[in-house]
Amino acid sequence: MKKILVLSMLLLALSLVLIGCQGQQEAAAPAEAEPAQEEAATELHIYNWSEYIDPEVYTAFEEEYGIKVIEDTFSSNEELLAKIQAGAAGYDLIVPSDYMVEIMIAEGLLAELNHANVPNIANLSALFSDPPFDPGLTYCVPYQWGTTGIGYNSEVFEDAPASWAYIFDPAMAAEYEGKITMLNDSRESIGAALKYLGYSLNTTSEAELEEAKELLIQTKPFIFSYDSDQFEDLIAADEVVIGHGWSGDYFMAAVDDERIWYVIPEEGGVVWADNLCIPLTSKNQDAAELFINYILQPEIAAQITNFTWYGSPVEAANEFIDPEILEEPAIYPSAETMERLEWIQDVGDATPLYERIWTEVKASE
Ligand code: SPD
């Protein structure tokens, strides 16, 4: 009798445990079975470079999908990285350059793209379909590309100042003292000095980087400002006559002021591509992918290039791009010129060295 009682109690305990487990499984089931549903987005927050899209593209997207686009801007990849690393969670799309995509992937800051939502990826040119910084376009889609070189006032320079010597050779720069700008950008400005010295702009040699630092410090008295936002406007305003900057920004300024022009230095410069990526913290991934797919349409991609004067990675856009842009060798460089250009790459452990050098250049008197 006692044995039967003990057995019954054990059976009762076991059933209670099983019921408890089942209850727990039932409670946990929805989270495991289905990912959290995104609410239909009414807003899309983009963190972009300034003046990097025709605002009409935002308006047309808003009208078509009823999603309001809110843009915030940054001036360098490092500023973008710092903001995302600090946990800024409000962005659905960001626009890092090539090497920064690599860094952000390694730091786990980006969401993988759902390619099923971005069928217009097929419109990309082969050159941009499988970039080394994001193989298979797992995380991002190339947005625009361009070069970094020299912008100038063609009334001051009869012949294009096609050498970094105009900025870095003290004898030449002295002639334009206080009338020169350089980008406020560690990798770009140290990169220009490295190119002038004949080194790779991805060097990790401390000696070469120290040499570039000394050159930048020696050049500083001739510099009006380190500026990545209005370097082209400063030529238009006659504040400066020459500067280090991004191709499209100078060409765009030339639409209103035909004295402004741009040249790729003979020593070479930077070729870069900026990319649309979704931060891991975005709550509107579907809407972000909808926008990416939207701007990959040939006519929209061309509209963006016709506004920014930067190259489009969408090959099918070419037939809609103004011939003046398509035929400009400083926007779509020849294969020969391309050989003189270098992509900025993630320099890994040497990154703090670049940052220290840039801080020292900026702090020097
Ligand atoms: N006004 C838009 C400029 C975009 C420049 N991005 C290029 C970064 C290359 N390091």
What is the signed CA dihedral for 59, 63, 65, 66, rounded to 10 degrees?
100
**284: Cβ below 6 Å to ligand 1?**
no
pLDDT confidence tier of residue 365, bands split at 50, 70 and 90: confident
- 213 pLDDT more than 90: yes
- Choose the weakest-confidence range: 23-27, 175-179, 206-210, 346-350: 23-27
Q: What is the pLDDT of residues 69-85, one digit of tens each?
A: 999 999 999 999 999 99
pLDDT confidence tier of residue 24, bands split at 50, 70 and 90: very low
Residue 154: the pLDDT is 97
CATH 3.40.190.10 positions along the chain are 42-145+273-332, 146-271+342-363
Please tell me the pTM assigned to this model: 0.88
Residue 35: the pLDDT is 38
- 175 pLDDT more than 60: yes
- 108 pLDDT more than 50: yes
Average pLDDT of the residues in 112-116: 98
Closest ligand 1 atom to the C-alpha of 188?
10
The class of domain 146-271+342-363 in CATH terms is alpha beta
- Cβ atoms of 173 and 167 within 8 Å: the answer is yes
**49: Cβ below 6 Å to ligand 1?**
yes
Tell me the pLDDT of the chain averaged across its residues: 91
What is the signed CA dihedral for 146, 148, 154, 159, rounded to 10 degrees?
-110
- Write the CATH number of the domain with boundaries 42-145+273-332: 3.40.190.10
**102: Cβ below 6 Å to ligand 1?**
no
- 19 pLDDT more than 50: no
How far apart (Å, rounded) are the C-alpha atoms in residues 322 and 124?
18
- 339 pLDDT more than 90: yes
End-to-end CA distance of the chain: 97
Which of 332, 207, 326, 192 lies closest to 270 in space, CA to CA? 192
How far apart (Å, rounded) are the C-alpha atoms in residues 167 and 181?
9
